[in-house]
Chains A and B, each alone.
Chain A
Amino acid sequence: MGVTPSSVPPSGLGAGLPVPWWRNRRVIPWVVQGAVGLTVLVVVAFLLGNLVRNLTAAGLLLSWSWLNQPAGFDIAETVLPFQASDPYWRGLLAGLVNTVRVVIAGLLGSTLLGSLLGMASFSGNALLRTLTRLYVEVVRNIPLLLQLVFWYFVVFLSLPNGTAAIQLPGVVLAKSGLYLAGFGEGLRWMGPHLVNGVWQAPLRWSVEFGALLTGLIAYSSAFIAEVVRGGIAAVPKGQWEAASSLGLSWLQTLRQVVLPQALRVIVPGLNTQYISLAKNSSLAVAVGFTDLYSVSETTLNQTGRAVEVVLLLLGTYLALDLFISLLMNGLNRLVQIRER
């Protein structure tokens, strides 16, 4: 243990010589990962090449020209401006932006809630501990799709509408969404207001977005709570006892002694949960939120370009998840460096 890659080998065995690359612990992971990556790439390239070759033989070569055709459908909630006369690729991009939006918000929310729940399961307060356990057991044992339908149809769509909506200064929560005051046209400060029976405001989120986000956060946080709990439980009991003998409070112990050590165990587990969350966001279609999957489905139906659309979809979700993994691996390295 504790042999860092740059450390000098024990004397007698090639003392003073640099470590050969095949024994260098900085090189080995790259070689192994490179080999695996190359194998996967070759297999994928072979299969794709095969697909293209045979589709060509059948006169059905993969075609991407439809991406520039006008989409002809509308998207309800977009950050990117989009209208029906815009090409398909813009529609798909608008869908991707919606997916990324819900994934980022979901990651932040579920990490916060999950960490709190995970820490709460070590609380001295029996009620808090029991409630936390109850939450985790209930939420993670019900299918996510059911939970989304529950949040959307039972909770969010039960909100009052129009003038009956829940109104606070600068904030309106209605059946159609959450509306916040902000700077509207011409940088004028504007509160939520009713236009023709429909709420308008500079900042607004639809209930579809809300239901999806709430569902994803509630679901993922239960799993993250377990990951956090596992990480904390992995820290030897002696650490807690040592900290309390020094007079540290429960919160101080957690923050300054236990969590830094627990993070090493937590981060890899978090990675899995984050990837799951990104993939689960495609259930948006069940609650009417127009994400990448929803736009792709419409596109597939309208263009008949099944293979192309599915390939695009596979590639995009893969890239999204690999990107999350990349960030998490970076974070993992960061917490690992502090080791010993």
Chain B
Amino acid sequence: MPSPSMRGLLITLSKAGSRARRAAPLVLLPVLLAACAPDGGGGIQSSKMATIKGRGKLICGVDGSLPGFSFVGPDGSYSGLDVDVCKAMAAALFGDPGKVEYRNLNSSERFAALASGEVDLLSRNTTMTLSRDAAGGNGLSFAPPTFYDGQGVMVPTASGIKTLKDLAGKPICVESGTTTELNLADRMREQNIPYTPLKFQTGDQTYAAYLQGRCVAVTSDRSQLAGKRSSFPSPDAHTLLPDVMSKEPLTPATVNADPVWSDAVRWTVNTLFQAEELGITKANIAAKVAEAKANANQADLRRFLGVEGEFGKQLGLPADFVPKIIGAVGNYGEIFDRNVGPGSRLKLDRGVNKQWKEGGLIYSPPFR
């Protein structure tokens, strides 16, 4: 659900409230449920940040069942690249990466949950698109992409399927309400390949149906396919087709209504990128801060680490938000390696997710 409509609705409800307080819940109950806990946006002060700080914890919308991105471990703790963005944000706000409450959202629920204020931040492998960004569409505000992905297709190795053409007439499992669903339709239409889309509401249902053999292929972001495959009983029995069907920049999102909050999220993500570029890691952050404090000539480093300047104040964050973030989750490279890179079960290549200096797309605007 888009935030503009939702905002309109909230205005409507609050105006109608005095006149039809008793009747409104009867008819608009379903809508009301989605719209409860509203956060009035706008103003010079960020009411969203005031709400989060008052609450004492960040509420972060994640997938919750996607290894490498957001996954609940046996002990109930969350881990993954998307989760680390939540942790970084909590570290920036409170100096404590643990002050996050996670909400598992499916792809259909996610925008409604964000628009209604149920979650503060959506860090849930969400593709940035025009219509999701536009005020007349879903009305989201996107941070920089944290993972540049593309849509792929996974098939059982034994099926002998090598290209999209081999999927003619076959059932393909897909999660409903995703860009994946539309891309699949577009690519198959372009190439004039008939197929049967089987749509499921959650990723778990989609992959369960695939594993049960109801569809000969499942399509999603390639990273997600790799992540899911790593949790299959026999990961080697499944192959990713070489076809990349789309661009999928996976991006944390906030509602468009609160630019102060959106900026804080944007620069928290940039912090992760910039720290990697400067070679600042979780291990050496304390030493770097000490170095910056000792040497007044290192102006760039001093500003970045909050030793001098007012970056924190301008964003509504503590002055030392950068050291807190890096001290909690490390830089982008560390996050990548730990969750999806060679050091993880997914073993994904950095690919286009390398730093710009190495020919990748990870690029932070200057901290200035």
A residues near B (Cβ < 8 Å) are 43-44, 46-47, 50-51, 54-55, 57-58, 60, 72-77, 83-85, 153, 157-158, 161, 175-176, 195-198, 207-208, 285-286, 288, 290, 294, 297-298, 300-302, 304-307, 310, 314
Contacts and interface: CB of A to CB of B under 8 A. Distances in A.
Contacts of B181: 73, 298
A205 B185 CA distance: 22
Given A298-B199, A304-B4, A307-B5, 12 more contacts: A50-B20, A55-B5, A76-B171, A197-B216, A285-B199, A288-B209, A300-B177, A301-B177, A302-B182, A304-B136, A305-B5, A306-B5
A47 B27 contact: yes
A294 B8 contact: no
Interface in B183-200: 184-186, 188-189, 195-200
Given A196-B169, A307-B5, A153 B212 contact: yes
A301 B185 contact: no
Interface in B62-99: none
A197 B169 CA distance: 9
A323 to B, nearest CB: 20
Interface in B140-170: 168-170
B65 to A, nearest CB: 16
Contact of B2 (A51, A158, A306): A306
Contacts of B208: 153
A197 B11 CA distance: 55
Interface string B206-242: 0011001110100000000000000000000000000
Contacts of A60: 4-5, 7-8
A314 B6 CA distance: 17
Contacts of A176: 171, 214
Given A47-B28, A157-B214, A288 B177 contact: no
Q: How would you classify the secondary structure of chain A's contact residues: helix, strand, loop or mixed?
A: helix
A310 B111 CA distance: 15
Nearest to B195: A74
Contacts of B209: 153, 157, 288
Q: How big is the B interface, by class?
A: 35 or more
25 contacts: A44-B27, A46-B20, A46-B23, A47-B24, A54-B12, A55-B8, A58-B11, A76-B196, A77-B196, A157-B212, A157-B214, A196-B168, A198-B171, A286-B200, A286-B201, A288-B199, A288-B205, A288-B214, A294-B199, A297-B201, A298-B177, A301-B111, A302-B182, A304-B131, A304-B139
Contacts of A83: 189
A124 B120 CA distance: 63
Contacts of B23: 43, 46-47
Nearest to B22: A43
B255 interface: no
Given A195-B169, A306-B6, A286 B205 contact: yes
B197 A73 contact: yes
- Of A51, A55, A83, most B-chain CB atoms within 10 Å: A51
Interface of B: 1-2, 4-9, 11-12, 15-16, 19-20, 23-24, 26-28, 30-31, 107-108, 111-112, 131-132, 136-139, 168-171, 173, 176-178, 181-182, 184-186, 188-189, 195-201, 205, 208-209, 212-214, 216
A301 B214 contact: no
A310 B30 contact: yes
B213 A76 contact: no
Contacts of B15: 50, 54
Pick the 3 closest A-B CB pairs, nearest first.
A306-B1, A301-B177, A304-B2
A76 B197 contact: yes
A302 B186 CA distance: 14
A291 to B, nearest CB: 11
A205 to B, nearest CB: 13
B179 to A, nearest CB: 9
A304 B138 contact: yes
Contacts of A54: 8, 11-12, 15-16
A73 B176 CA distance: 10
Nearest to A57: B11
Given A47-B23, A285-B176, A304 B7 contact: no
A332 B39 CA distance: 50
A288 B9 contact: no
A83 B199 CA distance: 15
A74 B185 contact: yes
